[in-house]
A = this chain, B = another copy of it.
Amino acid sequence: MIFRIDPTAGVPLYEQLAAQVRVGISRGELTTGERLPAARDLADSLDVNVHTVLKAYQLLRDDGLVELRRGRGAVVAATATGDTAALHAAVRALADEAARLGTSPQTVISLLEEQLR
């Protein structure tokens, strides 16, 4: 899996990393048992501090998405169950509808957050 971060995004780097793993798992690009890069390696290749990567991994552990063990690294714990196809279709449908109406991304996201609450 390829990780990309944008230091100017305004979103914390560790949040960006965690988000990419969440999306990867949901899309099936990351499967149960698969190993994420060692924190030190990933930090090096992204030119970021180790602690930043570790914070992302710990967020994912708190969500139950990965397991962390010394010597073994970060391993994907939960793979998306059920048909994620419907979920992704719903995501696409919403994005399409928003584009059709010209609704700003921020508004759409706020509406979704409100609904998920």
A25 to B115 alpha-carbon distance, docked (Å): 15
Q: Looking at the complex, which one of B18, B86, B109 makes contact with A112 (CB distance below 8 Å)? A: B109
Contacts of A92 in B (CB 8 A): 115
Say yes or no for A90: interface residue by CB 8 A criterion: yes
Interface residues on A, range: 35 or more
User: Considering the complex, which residues of chain A in the window 46-89 have a beta carbon less than 8 Å from any beta carbon of chain B?
Assistant: 63, 80-82, 84, 86-88
User: Considering the complex, which residues of chain A in the window 7-22 have a beta carbon less than 8 Å from any beta carbon of chain B?
Assistant: 18-20, 22
Q: Looking at the complex, which one of B63, B84, B98, B113 makes contact with A109 (CB distance below 8 Å)? A: B113
Are B97 and A86 within 8 A (Cβ)? yes
A88 to B103 alpha-carbon distance, docked (Å): 11
A93 to B87 alpha-carbon distance, docked (Å): 9
Are A98 and B111 within 8 A (Cβ)? no
Known: A86-B97, A104-B63. A23 touches B111 (CB 8 A): yes
